[in-house]
Amino acid sequence: MGHRKRRTQEILEELQANGGRIKVFDDIYHGEAYLSAVNRGDIGDNDIVLMFSMDGVQLYQDKTSDCWIYIWVIYDLSPDLRYKKKYVIPGGVIPGPNNPGNTDSFLCPGFHHLVGLQKAGLPIWHSRNKCLFKSFPYLYLGSADGPGSVHFTGLVGHQGVYLCRLYCGLKGRHKQGASTYYPALLKPDNYTVAGCDHDDIDPGSVNGCSPEDYQANLKKLLASRNPTDYKTRRNDTGISTLSIFMACPPKRRLAVPAGFGGDCMHAATINLGDLLPPLWHGLFTCSETDNVASWDWAVLNSDAWKFHGAAVESCKPFIPGSYDRPPRNIAEKISSGYKAKELVFAGPVYRTENIHRTELD
């Protein structure tokens, strides 16, 4: 449990020696938010830094058995230990099969206990030093996938007008007559949907979350006069309700929404892994205004697909061990454990003259 204390001290010494620069970022201890909390005294040497994580699971493969589970991860442990089953603390199980109607009612007992410890402290006996001390748990991060995060962030989610889980202020767009918003940075051609026809957005102009903007918008939402006014303000702010994280004392958590983590797994690997092959094959479902015949990236016919799969598999001798499992023939094993990274990285990279009619990336 002393790992975080030791690493934090080493990082602070490195910052002091290198003029405020860090050579390698390899853990949350290197983050500005964490180090600022340490410097403010919000996180002490004896405190416990926590991550809250929540996800839905299906317990049995062949029958309806969905439920939700939330856990606590202890960031004081080293990365090679903190995610192992014996060190992960179960928080609770929320029964299914439907999504919980009021998630806070299930999370409340766990957060009530956490807040009590944050206010009064957790007495711990240090057997090596033979002393009793108090530890104040610090809620550093809340993590989940996009649909799951709405259950504790209080934000509208990935289909709303302001759909970013980090509350960056990016405004989405929707198709004519549809209600689902998408984070489309470029304005489509011949697009005149009211409220969505803003100009192209430069990715470099998208800022991080602002707790001050969040607080101002939350006050605006809470001042809603009636249900109709609430819906309007919800669309205008991207907030649907208070986050249960706000039950924690401000000194014992990151400012909302700064403590809501991103998701680099689903969008960049699993989701793209599902979407790219049907695009390359020309099998992707499109609207009536589109024409698959015009897709110059739909180049993987049967022969090209087999040739491409064999080419990817043949690169095994040249892949370093750090890549994890070597690539396989996607034409033969697309539904039997084919790695998402092979679709995202190996797919666009290992092309041949047969599939080089356009840039696939």
> Are 22 and 15 contacting, i.e. CB atoms less than 8 angstroms apart?
yes
The answer, yes or no, to whether residue 349 has pLDDT greater than 80, is no
Query: How much is the average pLDDT of 131-155?
Result: 90
At residue 348, the pLDDT reads: 59
The overall average pLDDT reported for the chain is 85
Residue 97, preceding bond cis, omega within 30 degrees?
yes
Query: How many residues can be counted in the chain?
Result: 361
> Are 11 and 32 contacting, i.e. CB atoms less than 8 angstroms apart?
no
How confident is the model over 50-102, as pLDDT tens digits? 999 998 888 887 777 788 999 999 999 999 999 999 999 999 999 888 888 88
Q: How far apart are CA 70 and CA 93, in angstroms?
A: 7
- Parallel/antiparallel/unpaired status of strands 66-74 and 49-58: antiparallel
> Are 74 and 52 contacting, i.e. CB atoms less than 8 angstroms apart?
no
* Of the listed ranges 80-84, 135-139, 266-270, 305-309, the one predicted with least confidence: 266-270
Tokens 């819906």 sit on residue: 231
In this prediction, what percent of the chain has a pLDDT beyond 90? 46
Residue whose C-alpha is closest to residue 42's, from 257, 255, 261, 260:
255
List the structure tokens of 267.
């969008």
Q: At what angle do helices 3-17 and 32-40 cross, to 10 degrees?
A: 100
Query: Residue 121, exposed/middle/buried by CB under 10 A (0-12, 13-18, 19+)?
Result: middle
- Reported as half-sphere exposure (CB side, CA atoms, 13 A), residue 240 has a value of 18
> Are 152 and 245 contacting, i.e. CB atoms less than 8 angstroms apart?
yes
At residue 336, the pLDDT reads: 45
* Of the listed ranges 257-266, 281-290, 314-323, the one predicted with least confidence: 314-323
* Of the listed ranges 10-14, 108-112, 285-289, the one predicted with least confidence: 285-289
At residue 339, the pLDDT reads: 57
At residue 360, the pLDDT reads: 43
Which DSSP letter does residue 22 get?
-
At residue 78, the pLDDT reads: 94
Query: How much is the average pLDDT of 157-163?
Result: 88
Q: How far apart are CA 104 and CA 96, in angstroms?
A: 15
Residue whose C-alpha is closest to residue 136's, from 109, 112, 114, 110:
114
The answer, yes or no, to whether residue 34 has pLDDT greater than 60, is yes
* Of the listed ranges 107-116, 274-283, 319-328, the one predicted with least confidence: 319-328
